[in-house]
């Protein structure tokens, strides 16, 4: 198992942001976490990447317990985080932002190779490599945020709401992009409100509501679930985790 999140709880003051959430990501897979705004998706990714402390529970990565480790240590282990809102450095150039993604590495040849691959995947970033990040369009900034994450050469890429603020056409283009990254051997945990993107890019998923994981299973089974259908209309009422499939099948997104 690449990532195993075990019954984690996170508090912000007295408020519970995550309540005994468990989740798994098999190596080579793309897993999605869906849920409305405020469901706890961003907090879950921040907990995994070491940005917020746990009240209880455990996080295991590549067989090692990692909860309590600092964010930069998580990056060194192979977890990269593409945060909600991109969080770029607007006054730095595209190239400078990308190089920041590789700041924990010292393999210069590998860094240059990865930079070349990012530019091959996102030619517009090479064209605008000397341009300040803050002057890019929303879609270009999202490309830069993803490229910066890839510069860490992650084993697991956490993607938080990559569709946020993008036009529908650009959102649809994210699906083949995420699948391409996954097919190159990078496992992905995708947090999304846009279920079309989430289900289109992933093979397995979890549904969060009010900090609880109330449903898990293959994307095919989730799409058939009355609970998920109810979520689209705001009609969720159950707070207990239910397994859609007794023996979930993990599969490639190829």
What is the third-level CATH fold of 1-77+188-225?
A: Rossmann fold (3.40.50)
Average pLDDT of the segment spanning 135-157: 94
H or E stretch at 208: strand 204-209
> In this predicted structure, what is the pLDDT of residue 233?
35
> In this predicted structure, what is the pLDDT of residue 235?
41
The pLDDT confidence band at residue 149, using thresholds 50, 70 and 90, is very high
pLDDT higher than threshold 70 for residue 143: yes
The pLDDT confidence band at residue 249, using thresholds 50, 70 and 90, is very low
pLDDT digits (tens, 9 = 90+) for 43-98: 999 999 999 999 999 999 999 999 999 999 999 999 999 998 788 999 999 999 99
Query: Which of 226 and 161 is assigned the larger pLDDT?
Result: 161
The pLDDT confidence band at residue 248, using thresholds 50, 70 and 90, is very low
Q: Are 77 and 70 in contact (CB under 8 A)?
A: no
pLDDT higher than threshold 90 for residue 247: no
* Mean pLDDT over each residue of the chain, to the nearest integer: 89
pLDDT higher than threshold 90 for residue 245: no
Tokens of 194: 């846009």
Report the C-alpha gap between 161 and 82 in whole angstroms.
9
Q: In what order do the strands lie in the sheet with 156-160?
A: 79-82, 156-160, 187-192, 30-34, 204-209, 212-218, 242-243
DSSP 117: H
pLDDT higher than threshold 70 for residue 242: no
pLDDT higher than threshold 70 for residue 102: yes
- Residue 72's closest CA among 49, 47, 38? 49
H helices present in 122-162, as ranges: 123-127, 138-150
Report the C-alpha gap between 176 and 33 in whole angstroms.
18
b (16+ CB within 10 A) / e for 75-106: bebbbbbbbbebebeeeebbbebbeebbebee
| DSSP letter for each residue of 8-75 | EEEEETTEEEEEEEEEEE-TT-EEEEE--TTSSHHHHHHHHTTSS--SEEEEEETTEE-TT--HHHHH
Average pLDDT of the segment spanning 219-225: 89
Report the C-alpha gap between 194 and 215 in whole angstroms.
17
pLDDT digits (tens, 9 = 90+) for 167-218: 888 888 899 999 999 999 999 999 998 998 999 999 999 999 999 999 999 9
In the chain, where are the structural domains located? Answer: 1-77+188-225
Q: Are 36 and 78 in contact (CB under 8 A)?
A: no
Computed on alpha carbons and rounded to an integer, the radius of gyration of the chain in Å comes to 18
> In this predicted structure, what is the pLDDT of residue 39?
94
- The fraction of the chain above a pLDDT of 70, given in percent, is 91
Report the C-alpha gap between 169 and 108 in whole angstroms.
36
Report the C-alpha gap between 27 and 2 in whole angstroms.
5
pLDDT higher than threshold 70 for residue 237: no
> In this predicted structure, what is the pLDDT of residue 231?
61
> In this predicted structure, what is the pLDDT of residue 254?
32
CA atoms within 13 A on the CB side of 32: 28
Global pTM exceeds 0.85: yes
Query: Which of 222 and 254 is assigned the larger pLDDT?
Result: 222
Alpha-carbon distances, residue 111 vs 63, 119, 120, 125, 170 (angstroms): 27, 12, 14, 16, 28
């Amino acid at each position: 198992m690449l990532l195993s999140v075990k019954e984690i709880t996170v508090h912000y003051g007295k408020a519970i942001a995550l309540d005994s959430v468990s989740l798994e990501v098999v190596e080579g897979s793309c897993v999605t976490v869906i849920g409305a705004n405020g469901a706890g998706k961003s907090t879950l990714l921040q907990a995994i990447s070491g940005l917020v402390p746990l009240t209880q529970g455990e996080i295991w990565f590549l067989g090692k317990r990692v909860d309590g480790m600092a964010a930069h240590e998580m990056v060194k282990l192979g977890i990269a985080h593409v945060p909600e809102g991109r969080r770029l450095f607007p006054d730095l150039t595209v190239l400078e932002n990308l190089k920041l993604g590789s700041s924990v590495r010292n393999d210069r040849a590998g860094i240059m190779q990865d930079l070349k691959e990012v530019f091959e995947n996102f030619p517009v970033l090479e064209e605008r490599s000397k341009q300040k990040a803050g002057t890019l369009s929303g879609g270009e900034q999202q490309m830069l945020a993803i490229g910066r994450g890839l510069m860490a050469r992650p084993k697991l890429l956490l993607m938080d709401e990559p569709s946020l603020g993008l036009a529908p056409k650009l959102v649809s283009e994210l699906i083949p992009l995420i699948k391409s990254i996954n097919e190159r051997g990078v496992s992905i945990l995708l947090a999304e409100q846009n279920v079309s993107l989430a289900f289109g890019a992933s093979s397995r998923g979890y549904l969060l509501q009010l900090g609880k994981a109330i449903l898990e299973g293959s994307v095919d089974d989730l799409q058939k679930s009355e609970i998920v259908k109810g979520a689209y209309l705001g009609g969720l009422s159950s707070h207990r985790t239910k397994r859609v499939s007794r023996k979930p099948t993990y599969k490639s997104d190829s």
